Amino acid sequence: MKKFIKFLCCLLAISSAFSLSAVYYYNTILPDNIMIYDDETVNFNTNFEIVSKKEKAEELVNANQGSNSYKSNLSLMGIVPIKSVSINKVKQRYVVLSGDNFGIKIFTKGVMVVGMSDVEGGINPAKKAGMKIGDIILKVNNKSVNSNQELSRIINNSNGYQLVCSVRRNSKTFNITFKPVYSKDTASYKAGIWVRDSSAGLGTMTFYSSVNGAFAGLGHGIVDVDTGVLLPINSGEIVKTEILSITKSTYGNAGEINGAFTGEVQGKIINNAPCGLYGYLNKFENKKELIKISNKQDVKEGSAKIFTTLDNSGPKYYNCEIESIDYNNKSQKNLLIRITDKKLINKTGGIVQGMSGSPIIQNNQLVGALTNVFVNNPTKGYAIFSDEMYEKMTKVTGNSTLNRVS
């Protein structure tokens, strides 16, 4: 009997430890805010569900004078409490699926410091005054600066007199003051900095609105190649591209889609965000078939499709697998994707640069967009949830009613 009691105690201790570990783990990875359609039950990979349903929702809607948000609890297997979450009831969201390549041209708001070099005798006036790589120079002597040429002209015309630069670093804006130094080599005044005012590349459009042509693409932001800092956008446009060839990905080397801009401007970019590029199309088809945006909790591990363009005949579907899901990741790495389609692997080696933004489809719903490739295993990559991109698009365009059901 004593042995049985000991065994039972050990079993209970192990069970308790497992439950506590599970609660801690899932409390960390599960989101604090969840969107649902109507009064659906929320399940994360069939192991979790919302305890409170319609009755509690109606009570809180009335109490909040029409608010469609309420609190509820996630529980493990419907038994062990995990965390309290905010539930937001939303209308079904539909978009037009894209998967088309597009060329990207971005011009920065201000100029970004991407390098530093001494001018004369080891002197670097900007660095000495506190300027750093990654800083964005917005104004000089209260005059806006948006190009390398503008900044160079102001510095050279300073004749060595003091310049006051309005600089943004992270989310703070402040002044840095210095005096340019005369360079005998170039016979001009220099600040000791290298700056960048634009960027260009190729990506994939994920979807657009059939109501106003607002689009979302890329799934990640455009960052400076030298600093890794998100480029602040002053203006930008997307242009039509022609695919010339594909450099296949191999172990240790990410391939790429090689394309050329045709010159036809397809739309304007109005926002460069960590979760993608957003803007408006000049022309769009508003009678195309719509696809439903999936809520993140409806995404499941298992088979899916990637819709992407690899030649000038347009986008096609290829098989892939969703291997794991991270609901709380803030770095556009919510879904771990593995390419399983042999045709795609034979053509590209897996995932290549230029495929970023390619839609991920599961159960006839848009669940995500491709964002990254594993350099040491190009058949694998990450994707961002489609509902994250949709919510960002509605904020950027200032319109939360972009749906068209019919």
pLDDT of res. 71:
80
pLDDT of res. 406:
30
All structural domains of the chain, each given as residue ranges with its CATH number in brackets, are: 2-90 (no CATH), 98-104+198-397 (2.40.10.120), 118-191 (2.30.42.10)
275/260 Cα distance (integer angstroms): 25
Mean pLDDT of the chain: 85
pLDDT of res. 66:
44
pLDDT of res. 213:
93
Pull the structure tokens for residue 239.
């242009």
Which residues have CB under 8 Å from 91's CB, separation 6+?
A: 37, 403
- pLDDT greater than 60 at residue 352: yes
- pLDDT greater than 70 at residue 301: yes
Partners of 258 in beta bridges: 245
Per-residue pLDDT tens digits for 22-59: 566 677 777 778 888 766 666 666 555 555 444 344 44
- pLDDT greater than 90 at residue 129: yes
Percentage of the chain exceeding pLDDT 70:
84
Per-residue pLDDT tens digits for 201-241: 999 999 999 999 999 999 999 988 888 888 888 889 999 99
Q: What is the mean pLDDT of residues 98-106?
A: 94
Per-residue pLDDT tens digits for 246-283: 999 999 999 999 999 998 999 999 999 999 999 999 98
164/142 Cα distance (integer angstroms): 8
pLDDT of res. 8:
56
Whole-angstrom CA distances from 378 to 47, 305, 341, 353, 372 are 31, 17, 13, 10, 10
